[in-house]
Structure 1
Amino acid sequence: MISTELDAAGVREPSLRAAYQHCRTVNAQHGKTFFLATRLLAPRQRPAVHALYGFARGADDILDDFDARTNEERADQLQQLSTRLFNSLVENRSGDDNPTLTAVVDTARKYDIGWDLFDDFLASMRMDLTVTDYPDRKSLERYMYGSAEVIGLQLLPVLGTVGPREEAAPYAAALGKAFQLTNFLRDIDEDLSRGRVYLPADELAAHGVDRDMLEWCHTNRRTDQKVRAALAEQHAITRAVYEQARPGIDTLAPSSRPCVAAALTLYSGILARIEAIDFEIFGRRATVSKPRRLAVAVAGIGRAWANRIRYGSV
């Protein structure tokens, strides 16, 4: 299957093929929902998506792996990653042996993905080294632009659009934001373990909730009633962002619509699951069941093949 994808994408050189294979493996191991959705893309599109995922995952691992590294060491690793990407992508220097960088640079050149989107992403990653709370939505939005919205913008040229890319861009950014807001709710317990809270403090305070109360929930593995009300409000805000993003599916190339529709369905399914368990997300992880994931995938495969036959996409 990977050989078919690489052949369709025109990737011939052995070391480059190995680099893309590495990114695909990373995606399959660590981004199961996302990887499942990528199966609905045309084979020629998949290697680029795996490369973009692999790069983002590598940066995230620098920050979030539980180990003995200091923040200074993590900051240095992020800077090294940024410098190596800049040297390869912008300065056209060769010789970097990092397979993820090799694949993502090739993807960026092939699809004309600008350095600025990677730079903005890395800027938000650096924020995680020093910022542990967000006083209001404006400050959280600033973080999410680099950490989530630019991911949608990076993917947009790979997915393709039926009109000018700038018309589809706000929807792509909104979908990236919706996915991350879902993660913030699902992973609040895990994020507290890392000393971070990705919810606006002033909006929590309106329900009488502060970090100490969240820490109490984390320690006692249950959701206080005030916290439940605060999370319900965040849930509603996230649901509204999904609805903002949904019309953007029709701005994409037909061959890409089943994949993005499936991703939206699966991620919003996580949001629905959070509500279904009554926001008891301390000590348990809200997930979409395997049968549901497979059902969405099967339906998406049918639409994907129909679109490929109709529009001649491969």
Structure 2
Amino acid sequence: MTRGNYDRATLVESARRSIRRGSKSFAAASRLFDRETRERVWLLYAWCRACDDIADEQDHGRAMVHGPVGTRLAPEDRLATIRTLTELAMAGEETGAPAFNALGLLMREVPLTRAMVEDVLAGFALDAAQWRPRSEADMLRYCYHVAGAVGVMMASVMGVSPDDEDTLDRASDLGVAFQLGNIVRDVWEDDAHGRCYLPVEWLAEADIPPGEVTKPHYRPALVPLIARACALARQYEASARVGAARLAFRQRWAVLSAANIYGAIACEVERLGSHAWDHRVRTGRIAKLRLAAAALGEARHDPAPAPRPALSRRELAALGRAASPGKPAASG
């Protein structure tokens, strides 16, 4: 292997194409950043997207055509691939994969730490172990590892110091809010893949048996659980808005735009009630523009005061360290 003498322009262009294919909402919000931050956001997205695709055997979130039966990798082998390529990238080695080279380049440009990367990889380990949350704390820990930890890396890309614990906590809170929105939107889609990220304890309280969350006659019982998750998302989003106020203006505008766009998805799922899963909830182009315009006004004013949630980055990371993916503290 050779040390990564990366062609930055090529990696940035590859990352730009990746975000346009993989996330229209995120791509729209990223346009509001200054050029340097925008390019670094793209590079980080490319690595996250590539890890997701390897873990799920997809191409930018879309199903791939597989070869003959028996040729698919086991989840633990996919996780090993992610870890190997990420380790090479962190060591500054050429990986042969532009998205992982993008991480190597980023770690030379901004103060990302190994611990930040490891917290993201822990989310893929949970999925590889087919882990399921039993309690609300479990669900929030999962949200931290698969999205909140990415928010921490994103904050570092925007110039937040690794020593600014409170701002990093609040950056994580926004990722947690986003993931809670994904969970409520994707209940049907996740169930089709044998997954459920609503806590087992919540389902038991609602008398919804394991594995039957999408049965039509349980929809009325499911709706209050969705409202409960959306209320949690709003709490985490309010905390994140306090942290966003500490960013440079264009960064603040972009982050608040993303918060509005993703928050609108959760709000629409909650509004639709038992019809939320008749069709996948999306935010259209006109709505995105309206929400970004609203964020511009919000960026010019101080946010409402909001405390950190009781379980934020440091608390959730500690829960993760206390329970390895192989021996989770709770599982469904």
TM bucket by the smaller chain?
A: 0.7 to 0.9
Alignment match of 1:26 (pick from 5, 8, 18): 18
Q: What is the count of residue pairs matched by the alignment?
A: 288
Mapped partners of 1:204, 1:71: distance in 2: 33
Mapped partners of 2:211, 2:77: distance in 1: 31
Identify the structure with the greater helix proportion.
1
* CA displacement at 1:213 relative to structure 2: 3.1
Alignment match of 1:237 (pick from 232, 255, 261): 232
Tell me which residue corresponds to 2:52: 60
Residue 126 of structure 2 is aligned to residue 134 of structure 1: no
* CA displacement at 1:121 relative to structure 2: 1.2
Partners of 2:219 and 2:274 within 8 A in 1: no
Tell me which residue corresponds to 1:44: 36
Tell me which residue corresponds to 2:246: 251
CA change 1:70–1:203 in 2 (3 A) is farther
Aligned pairs for 1:158-197 (under 5 A) are: 158-161=157-160, 165-197=164-196
Mapped partners of 2:298, 2:137: distance in 1: 38
Mapped partners of 1:291, 1:300: distance in 2: 14
Tell me which residue corresponds to 1:75: 76
Partners of 1:223 and 1:280 within 8 A in 2: no
CA change 1:191–1:71 in 2 (3 A) is farther
CA change 1:52–1:163 in 2 (3 A) is closer
Question: What TM-score do the two structures reach when normalised by structure 2?
Answer: 0.78
SS at match of 1:224: helix
Q: Which amino acid aligns with 1:95?
A: E
Residue 297 of structure 2 is aligned to residue 296 of structure 1: no
Mapped partners of 1:146, 1:58: distance in 2: 16
Mapped partners of 2:298, 2:241: distance in 1: 17
Partners of 2:89 and 2:103 within 8 A in 1: no
Aligned pairs for 1:260-275 (under 5 A) are: 260-275=255-270
Partners of 1:182 and 1:267 within 8 A in 2: yes
Tell me which residue corresponds to 1:85: 86
Partners of 1:189 and 1:283 within 8 A in 2: no
Mapped partners of 1:15, 1:47: distance in 2: 13
Tell me which residue corresponds to 1:97: 96
Q: Which moved more, 1:222-231 or 1:265-274?
A: 222-231
Partners of 2:208 and 2:218 within 8 A in 1: no
Structure 2: gaps spanning 5 or more residues? 301-332
Counting aligned pairs with the same residue, the percent is: 25
After superposition, give the CA deviation of every residue in 1:112-132 in whole Å (9 maximum; x if it has no partner): 101222122112102112225
Structure 1: gaps spanning 5 or more residues? 1-12, 307-314
Tell me which residue corresponds to 2:156: 157
Q: Which amino acid aligns with 2:164?
A: R
Q: Which amino acid aligns with 1:114?
A: T
Q: Which amino acid aligns with 1:53?
A: Y
Q: Which moved more, 1:96-105 or 1:174-183?
A: 96-105
Q: Which moved more, 1:206-215 or 1:61-70?
A: 61-70
Partners of 1:40 and 1:301 within 8 A in 2: no
Residue 118 of structure 2 is aligned to residue 122 of structure 1: no
SS at match of 2:259: helix
Partners of 2:152 and 2:172 within 8 A in 1: yes
Partners of 2:16 and 2:42 within 8 A in 1: yes
Mapped partners of 2:143, 2:271: distance in 1: 26
Mapped partners of 1:124, 1:167: distance in 2: 22
